[in-house]
Amino acid sequence: MVAEYLTTSTEETIELAERFAKTLRLGDNVLLYGDLGAGKTQFAKGVAKGLGIKETIKSPTFAYVNQYSINLRSQISDPKYLYHYDLYRLEASPETSMSSHLMSLGFQETIEDPSAINVVEWADRLDGKPHSYIDVAIEPYKGDKRAIKISYHRDTQLDASLIPDYYAEWQTPLHVRDHCKQVATVAMQIAEAYFKQGVIIDCHLLYTACMLHDMCRVCDFRELDRDRFDESIAKEEWDRWEKLREAYSDQHHADIAFDQLKERGYSDTAEVIRLHKSTTIVKEWDSFDTLEKKIVYYADKRVKHREIVDLKERFRDGQERYGEYDDEKQKRLYEAVEEKTHRLEKELFKDLDIAPEDIV
Ligand code: ADP
Ligand code: MG
């Protein structure tokens, strides 16, 4: 679940960091890892550039921290700051502990400041991680080549380690978990093709959203049919499902998952999952404002049960399972969904070096 990018020159690293900066929000903490000369300061330069900072970024090695005003046009009101830390020389000494040293720099305050962005070189010097952070690890390759790994861990996204807990809580059936896993496989292949183009995608968000998109699926199965389950189901489990279905009757499983995750603060994951409901692509196309949202929606429409299929087959199967439309209006809606999903497919693959049929 780590996005890996290859750059072959300083300029390419700066450009990558500029694109990365466009995904940043106030309150983000970027933790930079890598040996001396890996390119952390170059990356920080690109971040500053992407945030509209005109000043030249210099390594703050001897100052520990430099402060810059962020000049995003949309944020002209109060000043917002980028704090660029370099903790290379930070060490515990007999007189001062690491944490008191950091404290004297005002580190904790700016790390928790919701209107600041922090970029921290030598983040491995820290005792722990902030609540919300993005890891960027730079490894020298050969010569000027660098491998740059980016992984998002914002507090607004659910951590992948919690996936089993949610399956347990919602008693997600095995075949539904398999479906989710297959959707994640499709999504990751598409993401991988985008990484090759240097496009920034939060693949941790992408993966967890795929894995949990149908976690509440039992709630709106047309009917509970024992034949559809691989596992033998104990009476208590069955009763639990019946209860969930009663409690959430008339609600779409995407909306149930959305409410659940949102309530726990995982608003990013919640929104990506909410949008996988098939009609959203027609009813609120404007909400699909990130690649992660588009890819999860699309990947789900490429998986029939556990099987990767093309869009045509998936829509044919859907129609077969849900039978006749209620009325002419509904029929037109679903035709529009199919048409729009084909357009989404074209858009997603337009600049990629893989085609929809290469997804396996
Ligand atoms: P750090 O802050 O990690 O110690 P710097 O960013 O100060 O490293 O320095 C990286 C050095 O490597 C610079 O001299 C830079 O020009 C050079 N360099 C060569 N290729 C790359 C690359 N692909 N990405 C980043 N820096 C590169
Ligand atoms: Mg440096």
Which tens digit of pLDDT belongs to each residue from 259-292?
A: 999 999 999 999 999 999 999 999 999 999 999 9
pLDDT at 305 over 70: yes
pLDDT of residue 75 exceeding 70, the answer is no
Banded pLDDT at 193 (limits 50, 70, 90) = very high
Overall pTM > 0.85? yes
Report CA-CA distances (Å) from 215 to 97, 135, 219, 235: 46, 28, 9, 20
Going along the chain, which residue ranges are E strands? 3-7, 29-33, 65-69, 81-86, 116-121, 133-140, 146-153, 303-304, 307-308
What is the predicted pLDDT for the residue at 74? Answer: 58
Q: How remote is the CA of residue 90 from the centroid of ligand 2, in Å?
A: 13
Ligand 1, closest atom to CA 13? 24
Does any ligand 1 atom lie closer than 6 A to the CB of residue 10?
A: yes
What local confidence, expressed as pLDDT, does residue 60 receive? 78
pLDDT score for 321: 77
Backbone torsions φ then ψ of 98, nearest 5 degrees:
-55, -45
Q: Mind listing the pLDDT tens digit for each residue in 27-45?
A: 999 999 999 999 999 999 9
Q: How far is the CA of 58 from the centre of ligand 2 (A)?
A: 9
Cβ of residue 118 lying under 6 Å from some atom of ligand 1: no
Pocket test for ligand 1, best of 5, 6, 10, 146 (most atoms within 8 A of CB): 10
pLDDT of residue 282: 98
Q: What is the mean pLDDT of residues 126-154?
A: 95
Please name which of 283, 233, 35 lies closest in space to residue 140, comparing C-alpha atoms: 35
